[in-house]
Chain A
């Protein structure tokens, strides 16, 4: 008996790479799409896309979208939506500007206060959604209007700036080179290599564990190639960045947030419960899950991340404008859906949302370099969103 079982499990452990790819096309489809899109623009722009200065810009330009996409992923997995994040970005930027420019408060005060205000804004919206069962669409649509209005009121219709140097570092700062050479920035390269090693190490450990339980269906060759590619990509990117000014602070913030939220969604009870709540709220409730509190926390978290994005955006422009963050919510929501989250909740990954945000970002950047007008950019982005979701639905139906 035991021997037959072992043989079956070892047979299961080594299916062909093509079969594996076919069955996991949903997991890797968007990553492949991102690589293809990058390669295409790299070719069309004659290598401008991957130039260190442009790459640095790409990260800086998209950091706030990515940070919000992480929070939005949780909201969407929980079965809701948040339309107010763009306005919150504007409002927090305005608040930061008033505090540091008009009142001269130091950055160490401004940043925590703004994050706290974001948390409260998210919490307030979450309160109505969670405990009063008012649809998130309506509550956050109201929030979108309210905070856009408050942004205008706070700034009295004017742009306020410039920010003090310390505040600007939020967005424009770079990790200094501890090795003191400067260019190429050795610290950036070292950090890149460390990050790559850490990712490969964690992947190998989790693979070893699942092999021990005989439940691994990823072919070894696929595992090797995948991790080698990821490691090479990270090290190559850090090399490219090191030849310019090194790693932007924002990139580190982003990486840390991605790591934290990936861990929370994959391995903690709170993450598990959010997926359960989005998958079947009634069943979750009857399983003893406090669905109201979780919904509330998801929105509070979204508010805080939107505030962080607002600070970074304001720091990047070095001024707070009444239009800041306008229509950001659409890019953020699109990124999450491109990344494979389900409209009905319960499905979606942090890394998917990040990839979705990068797809949008690379397209924005690439099309701008090519000189495509904002009109056609919108059209193309809309079609990509539709195509991504159709692709997802198609794969789901095929799987049935």
Chain B
């Protein structure tokens, strides 16, 4: 039997109101590549934060054994000292510093408190050699592509004498050949006896490099599979990732009463292409076409980073991206969506996934937030009638059941669910035909989710078209008439509600 380098036993981590991890077990053998898989929000990142000491010892229940010693990390420096290094999805590098400076940031080669540059450069060259990167140590990091930056990040881990390397979706931002190189590097490390944990959504990567797999779902470790002991099919992994009960979590919509369902065409998007706003050679959205009918809830499924938000924001007044091409028809007419005011005028509304950053003015009241997208509705000749405004916001507060004593409450004092209802109020009052809802239930509790679902159903009953973007597949399956599946900026499939299942969606994504 090989040595176990890491064992996490019965890890439970609770946040106010949510149990993020529920007695999770994870065992990593020395010198293996261990894949950690699960849906977004399943708890993978939380588990890794527990391991690396971001959540210090004492803030969770359970034991961590590292090299047969009980580990009690009180911060990330403790875990790094033991040789556990985590490389995050968002790289933690300073673009305006050189490769050498980045590699030894916080870990400088000092002689009596003064940086020894010749030594730094020599060590940098040795480390770059190890990760197969041919760059000068003095090159500024910002001049490197994402793939090379990732290699620098790994070299930085090597500089700290790594025993266990954790990579959080390292290939999500990489091109095909860069990903392949990275995986080869992991195999090389394995030969040198370095263990790694690889968090990924890409099943082809797992079958290529992983020795064993742990599947996490809803904060619990569902299964651990040994890739050498048995043949593991992608279907097995997918079933473990998604299988969960989804009865009665969604309000039913009575479609039978409406003969015309789905109604007439509201919005049609043709051949939509979008490029990255800064890196003009990177195409983010590839040739997407879709449509929404009146009274229809259409879902867009896809993992984080698949381009869903970018698609929605590029449609909504070109709020994202450059060089946008394509055609949008709203109610039969070609729509001018070149600016946000035009998009609103054309009958489009976009409810953002990031309500605090992009949706609300937290310092202002519910009343002021509610009317912000349609101030003309409560004013004449530029003068706001506060009585009408108060009435309007009061009406929405009641209709959407925003729990607060008055509309003069500042939205920063509301709970997530109530804040989301204020954002919805704002966009309902802009009188749209089509609403794009981006992660409408993110970060809100189960009861409020049900209320949001009811509002969405009501909108469809009123003849609006709803486009719902979500990372939670059960939510899409429970709510949508049709689901488009998106991956890496493309629509890779379309499913009617009756045919759709989590397995089908997941396999469309991972096999694309």
Contact = CB atoms under 8 A, between A and B. Distances in A.
Interface of A: 12, 209, 213, 215, 267-270, 272-273, 275-276, 279-280, 282-290, 346-347
Given A213-B390, A273-B375, A268 B384 contact: yes
B469 interface: no
Most A-side CB within 10 Å, residue of B360, B363, B387? B363
17 contacts: A267-B384, A269-B384, A276-B364, A280-B360, A282-B357, A282-B358, A283-B359, A283-B360, A284-B361, A284-B372, A286-B319, A287-B340, A288-B341, A289-B372, A346-B361, A346-B363, A347-B363
Contacts of B358: 280, 282-283, 286
Most A-side CB within 10 Å, residue of B319, B368, B375, B406? B375
Q: Is the interface of A mostly helix, strand, loop or mixed?
A: helix
Most B-side CB within 10 Å, residue of A270, A275, A283? A283
A267 B382 CA distance: 8
Contacts of A279: 361-364
Interface residues of B, number: 34
B344 interface: yes
Contacts of A268: 379, 382-384
B364 A275 contact: yes
B363 A270 contact: no
A209 B361 contact: no
Given A269-B375, A272-B372, A279-B362, 4 more contacts: A269-B382, A272-B375, A280-B357, A282-B357
A214 B319 CA distance: 40
B408 A209 contact: no
Contacts of A288: 317, 340-341, 343-344, 373, 430
Contact of A267 (B350, B383, B408): B383
A279 B357 CA distance: 11
* Nearest 7 interchain pairs by C-beta: A279-B361, A287-B373, A288-B341, A269-B375, A288-B344, A287-B372, A280-B361
B81 interface: no
A285 B359 contact: no
B25 interface: no
Contacts of B426: 287
B73 interface: no
Nearest to A344: B363
Nearest to B341: A288
A285 B386 CA distance: 23
Contacts of A289: 340, 372
B376 interface: yes
A153 B222 CA distance: 79
Contacts of A272: 368, 372, 375, 384
B352 interface: yes
Contacts of B390: 213, 215
Interface in B366-421: 368, 372-373, 375-376, 379, 382-384, 386-387, 390, 405-406, 408
Most B-side CB within 10 Å, residue of A209, A280, A282, A289? A280
B491 interface: no
Contact of A209 (B340, B343, B387, B430): B387
Contacts of B382: 268-270
B316 interface: yes
Nearest to A285: B340
A283 B415 CA distance: 19
A315 to B, nearest CB: 33
A256 to B, nearest CB: 18
Contacts of B319: 285-286
B316 to A, nearest CB: 7
A269 B361 contact: no
A394 B57 CA distance: 34
A276 B384 contact: no
A372 B511 CA distance: 81
A79 to B, nearest CB: 12
Interface in B302-346: 316-317, 319, 340-341, 343-344
Contacts of B408: 215
A254 B379 CA distance: 27
Contact of B316 (A215, A273, A286, A347): A286
A286 B359 contact: yes
B346 to A, nearest CB: 11
Contacts of A282: 357-358
B349 to A, nearest CB: 10
A272 B375 CA distance: 9
A269 B379 contact: yes
A289 B319 CA distance: 12
A284 B359 CA distance: 8
Contact of B376 (A209, A269, A276, A285): A269
Contacts of A269: 375-376, 379, 382-384
Contacts of B376: 269
A276 B340 contact: no
A34 B392 CA distance: 38
Contact of A286 (B340, B362, B364, B383): B340
Contacts of A280: 357-358, 360-362
B375 A283 contact: no
Contacts of A285: 319, 340
Contacts of B383: 267-269
A273 B343 CA distance: 18
Contacts of B362: 279-280
Nearest to B355: A283
A269 B380 CA distance: 9
Nearest to B386: A267
A260 to B, nearest CB: 13
Most A-side CB within 10 Å, residue of B350, B372, B373, B383? B372
A360 to B, nearest CB: 26
A11 to B, nearest CB: 12
Contacts of B375: 269, 272-273
A213 B352 CA distance: 32
B178 to A, nearest CB: 31
A267 B316 CA distance: 29
Interface in B27-64: none
B406 A286 contact: no
B336 to A, nearest CB: 14
A275 B352 CA distance: 21
Contacts of B372: 272, 276, 283-284, 287, 289
